Amino acid sequence: MTDLQKRMELALEAARKAGELTLEYFQKGIEVEFKADQSPVTEADRNSEALLIELLSNEFPKDAFLGEESGERPGSSGYRWVLDPIDGTRSFVQGVPLYGVLVGLEDPAGEAILGVVNMPGLDETLVAAVGEGCYHNGSRTDGSRANVSTVSELSSACVTYTGFETFRQSDSLGVHSLLGDQVKVLRGWGDCYGHLLVATGRAEVMLDPVLSRWDIVPLKPIVEEAGGVFTDWQGRGGSGGSSGIS
C-alpha cells in the first residue's frame, strides 16, 4: 500500500468517526453561535474538527492542518490536511441530514490530492485520491467505483445549488434565473451533498457561488476522480478560488 493509499484509508475512517460524533448532537436542539461573518457554528463543529485532527495527527504527526474552526496548525512534512468538520451547518442545526464531514489533503505544492465526504445522516461516503479513483460507500477495496453522469445536454440535466442567498452574495442572481429556463431540474440540494450527487451520477451540475478552501480541497479530487470537472466560476481549475462548479 502506498503512502497516498494509507492516507485515503485513514481519512475515510477519521471522517466516519467524526460523522458518528456529529450524530450525537443531530436533532437534539444544539445551541448555535454565530461567527463574525454570521455563519453558524456549534459545539458539534468544534468537537468534530478536534477529533479529525487527533486521528490524523496520530498517524501523521508532521503534517500541517487547516480547519474551518481552529485555523492553521503548522507542520514539517509538506502535506496539509484541510478540514470542514460540518459542511452545511445550517442544515445540521435545522435537523436536515444534508450536511457532511469533509477531509482534504494538499501535497507540498499546495495541490488538492485527496478528498473524503461523509454524510452521516444519509450513511453515504465518497473517498478519492489523484490517480486512485473515487469510491462510494467504502474504500478502494470494498467501495463501488463512483462515476459522473453521461448526460451531456443542459436541457436534460439536473442542476443543484447550495442556496438562493449565495447567488445574491456573489451578485449572480441572473445565473439562477437563466438556468431555470434551460435545465430539466433545478434544485437547492446544496453544500457537499450537491457535489456528491454529481460525483455519483445523480446530478449533472453543482453550482457554488461562494466556497472556501476547506470545501474546495476535499471536493475537487472527488469530482475529478469520478470523471468530472471542478473549476471556479471563471473556469480556473486550481484549489485556491472562492467559488465552485462541478
> Tens of pLDDT along 48-73?
999 999 999 999 999 999 999 999 99
Domains of the chain: 3-143 (3.30.540.10), 154-245 (3.40.190.80)
b/e 204-233 (16+ beta carbons within 10 angstroms → b): bbbbbbbbbbbbbbbbbbbbbbbbbebbbb
The predicted pLDDT at position 180 comes to 66
Q: CB of 47 within 8 A of CB of 66?
A: no
Name the pTM for this structure: 0.94
Q: Tens digit of pLDDT per residue, the chain (246 long)?
A: 999 999 999 999 999 999 999 999 999 988 889 888 888 899 999 999 999 999 999 999 999 999 999 999 999 999 999 999 999 999 999 999 999 999 999 999 999 999 999 999 999 999 999 999 999 999 998 999 999 999 999 899 999 987 666 655 555 555 555 566 788 888 888 899 999 999 999 999 998 888 999 999 999 999 999 999 999 878 887 777 788 889
Three-state secondary-structure class, residue 121:
coil
